[in-house]
Amino acid sequence: MSEALSRRSISAAWLWLSVGLSISLILLMPVYSYAHGLAGKRFFPTTLSVEDPFVSDELSFLISHIREPGEGVEPAVNSTEISLDYSKRITPHFGISIGESFLHLNPDEGKSESGFGNLELGLKYQFLTNEEHETILSFGVDAEIGGTGASRVGADSFSTISPLLFFGKGLGGLPESVKFLRPLAFTGVIGPNFPTRSKNVITTLNEATGEIEQEVERNPVTLTWGFSIQYNLQYLQSFVKDVGLGVPLNRMIVLVEFPFETCLNRGCEGQTTGFVNPGIIWFGKSVQFGIEAQIPINKRTGKNIGVLGLVHFFIDDLFPKSLGKPLF
Amino acid sequence: MVNSRQIFIAFVCAYVLSCLWIDEAKGHAFPAHSDPKVGATVASSPVSVRIWFDGDLEPVFSTIAVQDASGKKVDKGNGRVNPSDAKLLEVSIPPLPAGTYRVIWNVVARDGHRTMGDYTFVIK
């Protein structure tokens, strides 16, 4: 009965979400909109792996594919994930986000599984934007809502709360002698992930002995940290030196992202997993595309290279006087 | 029976399709090219500085100025969006001696988005 109630409440949450987004879509208020991802003349794109530091109205579709290593008796899995993330500004510097993902897991042994991951919610406050120094600082809280996804694809039954600090910094202020480094920029994020439950007790029936067995699975606090290094060809062409780049190179950003996660307690202290993700981004007036390779940094992360692809819509450019502007 | 999660996904699909119909002319205005070119060295003083953008500009809120190496304004003060080409921002300059000059611009696109920038060029 409690399972039925839980399903009903999740179902109601989705319905309210749909209604809320629909209402916001039809609200048409004729006022100015503000810029996304800009600090002075620096444009910070939405990155694929490391969460970006700015608050904006945007809609992202991210697809990833990688072969994940087996753990213990668990076989290796070919994992494909399609994620959707929608961000909405409430004020020019404060925004909320909602994200959902659909996973398809194809293990070496056993049948494949598909299902939704947990619902992800977020808040972000961009408390510093310095145009002259091309700097952005933000603080946010992300929450993965436990039990809203399918356990068969690994969705946790507990929630995880993550307070995060974000930064973005462009190097446009470098002296003339190193002017070709001015298109460089860095973004990054750091923050702990707190599970709302320290352990899961899994009870199973041993069919051979007929005894009930209990296994304790510990849920550690982890640290998310990562950064990106970006070289913006549009910045080079528009502000440093016209080197004759045409379409589409004049709107490209070459980047490498470094998303990491380090375990902080409960038996796995100091263990880090992560990737080095080289890739390219192209941005237009209302849409952005990106593609990256995912290269594991160690055996714990995996040994196969994955791929990430992004299609991203600038809602503030698409609907500058309605859905794409801050509510207040 | 259709559940609420399927309604949500249908909504998102409809939303994305609606995004694809939006007029491409909207969005931030970024420079497409300029004369003199960004970072260029020219043999003689040009009569004007012109920047073509990738979107239409709001004439009232768009500005352009040229400064010399000491930061002194050297243009003729007639910076404007060209009346017959809303993508072109231009300003006239008098004959200038050899040196490095900085072009500073600040524009608002037709949809209200502001962008800014600057670049240098050198007169031999």
Tokens at A156, concatenated: 């946790």
Whether residue A322 lies within 8 A of chain B, CB to CB, comes out as no
pLDDT average, residue stretch B18-31: 64
Residue A4: the pLDDT is: 52
Best residue of B111, B114, B118, B120 to probe chain A, by most A CBs closer than 10 Å: B111
Mean pLDDT, chain A, whole residue set:
88
User: What local confidence, expressed as pLDDT, does residue B7 receive?
Assistant: 62
Ramachandran sector of residue A198 (left: φ over 0; alpha: ψ -120 to 50; beta: rest) = alpha
- Range in A32-36, A44-48, A139-143, A190-194 the model is least confident about: A32-36
Tell me: the pLDDT tens digits for B83-121?
Answer: 999 999 999 999 999 999 999 999 999 878 899 999 999
Which of A84, A130, A317 to mutate to test binding with chain B, by most B CBs within 10 Å of its CB? A317
Nearest Cα residue in chain B from A15 = B4
Whether the predicted pLDDT of A14 surpasses 70 = no
Q: What is the DSSP letter of B47?
A: S
Strand partners, A184: A231
Which tops the pLDDT comparison, A19 or A44? A44
Residue type, position A287, single letter: V
> What contacts A8, CB < 8 A, 6 or more positions away?
none
So what's the pLDDT on residue B6?
64
> What residues contact A217, with CB distance under 8 A and at least 6 apart?
A199, A200, A201, A202
Of B22, B60, B61, B120, which to mutate for an interface test with A (greatest number of A Cβ within 10 Å)? B22
Contact A320 B28 (CB under 8 A): no
Q: Predicted confidence band at A3 (pLDDT cuts at 50, 70, 90)?
A: low
Q: What CA–CA distances, in Å, run from A27 to A21, A152, A295, A321, A322?
A: 10, 39, 43, 10, 6
Beta strands B41-42 and B114-123, pairing class = parallel
Cα distance between residue B28 and residue B77, in whole Å: 25
Flag whether residue A115 sits within 8 Å of chain B, measured between CB atoms: no
Q: Does A33 touch chain B (CB under 8 A)?
A: yes
> For the residues of A261-318, what is the DSSP string, one character each?
EEE-STT-TT-EEEEEEEEEEEE-SSEEEEEEEEEESSTTT-SS-EEEEEEEEEHHHH
**A302 compared with A30, residue with greater pLDDT:** A302
Regarding pTM above 0.90, the answer is no
Contact A119, A112 (CB under 8 A): no
Residue of A241, A315, A316 lying closest to B38 (CB–CB): A241
DSSP A135: E
Residue A48 has pLDDT above 90, yes or no: yes
Residue of B nearest to A100 (CA): B9
pLDDT category at A209 given cuts 50, 70, 90 is confident
Residue A32 is predicted with a pLDDT of 39
**C-alpha to C-alpha distances, A72 to A75, A209, A271, B57, B61, nearest whole angstrom:** 8, 22, 17, 61, 64
Q: Nearest CA to A169 among A282, A292, A40, A278? A: A40
Per-residue pLDDT at A5 exceeds 90: no
Concatenated DSSP letters of A242-259: -----TTGGGEEEEEEEE
Question: What part of A 137-176 touches B (C-beta under 8 Å)?
Answer: none
Residue of A nearest to B118 (CA): A239
Q: Which of residues 35-94 of B touch A (CB under 8 A)?
A: 37-40, 54-55
A contacts of B3 (beta carbons < 8 Å):
11, 14
0.95 surpassed by complex ipTM:
no
* pLDDT tens figures, A62-83: 999 999 888 777 888 999 999 9
Residue A30 pLDDT class (50, 70, 90 cuts): very low
